[in-house]
Amino acid sequence: MALMEWANLKAHELRALAADDAVVIAPVAAMEQHGPHLPVQVDSRLATEVSHRAAQKAHKEQATVVLPVVWAGLSEHHMPFGGTITLNYETLLSIFRCIVDSVQRHGFNKVVILNGHGGNIDACKMIAQSLSLELEDVTIIAATYWLEAASRIAPILEDQSNVLHAGEAETSMMLQLEADLVDDSDLASHRTPADLSFLLAGEGSFRWRDLAAVTSNGVLGDPSKANAAKGEQLLEAASDAISDLITNPATWAPTTDLREDSTAGVPFHR
Ligand SMILES: [Zn+2]
């Protein structure tokens, strides 16, 4: 089955996919600095690749179509390093409100927001919640590919347990996909501690921090541990996990109002 890219299809083909109850993958990522060795497109390139591979795998069981990536996200914390375009949350929510409303009006009722940028994780969950309450009869899944694939990714990596900004994992995947855009002449010199604890306060609380407060060069982790073979393994692990998410009937199962009759009349959101 050919890859189902929304942008390549004719309107009547998309109407047929809607009639087939296809899942719409809407990738979202970022355009932001990725250290001295990687281009600013990394997150958008990787979210697109994972989406395409996942759709190809899932499509055998569940019709799936992939929108073009929303290439900017919430990247304020990367602005001090240059090269970064950031949206604010209200704008990202508005973009997805229009995207989900559009696809739903065309008959699609299953949407996966496929996120490829750490700064978007909480925003994507909030977008899924807000739009699920606003728009009836559409199921919206917020998935960050490396979180959905965490248990499959960990055994592949040496320096870190999951994807970190411009480190071993992202550098490996870019070496596999876009080697000409990677400056691998001195990867060892770009190493920084692979640590996200700067985002924590106390035992389990959050505080916002600019990335320039925790890394001198915009990297988290050790890109010298990267190689293309590892990148291919990571892309396969991530797309396997997203495909499994899409083809699992439980992902799309309707909810049931379990309340007693005495509370009937108070709204319940499916
Ligand atoms: Zn990244």
pLDDT of residue 258: 84
Instruction: Report in angstroms the alpha-carbon separations of 63 from 24, 105, 108, 142.
Output: 9, 18, 11, 19
Whether 259 is covered by a domain: the verdict is no
pLDDT of residue 194 exceeding 90: no
Indicate whether 236 belongs to any domain.
yes
Ligand 1 centroid from CA 34, angstroms? 6
Asked if the structure places residue 246 within a domain, the reply is: yes
Q: Rounded to the nearest whole angstrom, what is the distance from the C-alpha of residue 17 to the centroid of ligand 1?
A: 32
Average pLDDT over residues 171-193: 97
We report the CATH number of the domain holding residue 44 as 3.40.50.10310
- CA 220 to centroid of ligand 1, rounded, Å: 10
Q: Is residue 12 part of a domain?
A: yes
Ligand 1 centroid distance, CA of 241 (Å): 19
What average pLDDT is seen over the chain?
95
Strand partners, 24: 65, 111
Q: Range of 25's domain?
A: 6-253
Global pTM?
Answer: 0.95
Q: Count Cβ atoms below 10 Å from residue 114 Cβ, excluding itself.
A: 30
| φ and ψ of 139, to 5 deg | -100, 125
Q: How close is the Cα of 158 to the center of ligand 1, in Å?
A: 18
Quote the number of domains for the chain. 1
58 CA to middle of ligand 1, Å? 25
In a domain, 269, yes or no: no
> What is the predicted pLDDT for the residue at 1?
45
Q: Is residue 262 part of a domain?
A: no
Kindly indicate the confidence band of residue 10, based on its pLDDT and cuts at 50, 70 and 90: very high
CA 245 / ligand 1 centre spacing (Å) = 22
In the block, tokens 């559409």 appear at 138
CA–centroid distance, 268 to ligand 1, in Å, is: 38
22-34 residues labelled b (16+ CB within 10 A) or e (exposed): bbbbbbbbbbbbb
Distance 100 CA to ligand 1 centre (A): 25
**263 in any annotated domain:** no
Ligand 1 centroid–CA 54 distance in Å is: 19
Centre of ligand 1 from the C-alpha of residue 237, in Å? 17
**Gap from CA of 216 to ligand 1 centroid (Å):** 16
98 C-alpha vs ligand 1 centroid, how far in Å?
Answer: 25
**Per-residue confidence (pLDDT) for residue 21, from 0 to 100:** 97
Is the model's pLDDT at 40 over the cut of 90?
yes
Give the pLDDT band (50/70/90) at residue 153: very high
List Cα–Cα distances, 47 to 252, 257, 260, in angstroms. Answer: 22, 35, 43
Tell whether 266 is covered by a domain. Answer: no
